[in-house]
Amino acid sequence: MMRFFRAFREALRLTLRGETPAPAHYLPLMGWSADCLRKLKAARDAAEAEGLDLARIALKLDGRLTSLEQTLQMLRHNLVNEYPRLMRLDDPYSMLVVQSSNMNDQYRLSQFLAQDALPSQALRRALQNLEAHLRELPAVERPG
């Protein structure tokens, strides 16, 4: 019953915003994104439990200083805003853009994990879990 209510609420929300739901062939990507958001939250929770300021954990990537906070914010933005928009757009290049963005997010996260400077083992484990999940982006085939 709750699943029906959630589906109805989501359909109503999309209708009120003048949007359409993503095509069914994106279901694996939608599930993957939801799991990724949970792993992202677990990483943030691990940092918060240790009293860590993610904005202070930074390194130089591609010539500019980037914090772990910025990296996680970019990942969340892609998961919450960009990927759903690309799924609804459903053009031949949508999945290519998702793959490219995911590779960038994975690269940035892997560079933080390569540093010995992560101040917490709990945070490191949560980030490793998140980074491993980013490597498992599902393949999506457009019908026809």
Q: What percent of the chain has pLDDT over 90?
A: 75
* 90, part of any domain: yes
Name the residue among 115, 133, 111 with its Cα closest to residue 42: 133
* 141, part of any domain: no
**Residue 15 pLDDT exceeds 70:** no
**pLDDT of the residue at 20:** 61
* 142, part of any domain: no
Letter string b/e over residues 119-136, b meaning 16 or more CB atoms within 10 A of that residue's CB: ebebbbebbeebbebbee
User: Which tens digit of pLDDT belongs to each residue from 95-119?
Assistant: 999 999 999 999 999 999 998 878 8
* 20, part of any domain: no
**Residue 14 pLDDT exceeds 60:** no
Name the residue among 46, 75, 49, 68 with its Cα closest to residue 117: 68
* 12, part of any domain: no
Q: How many domains does the chain have?
A: 1
User: Which tens digit of pLDDT belongs to each residue from 16-69?
Assistant: 666 566 788 999 999 999 999 999 999 999 999 999 999 999 999 989 999 999
Across the chain, what does the average pLDDT equal?
A: 90
Under the banding of pLDDT at 50, 70 and 90, the label for residue 142 is: confident
Q: What percent of the chain has pLDDT over 70?
A: 85
* 42, part of any domain: yes
Range of the domain at 81: 25-134
pTM for the full model? 0.85
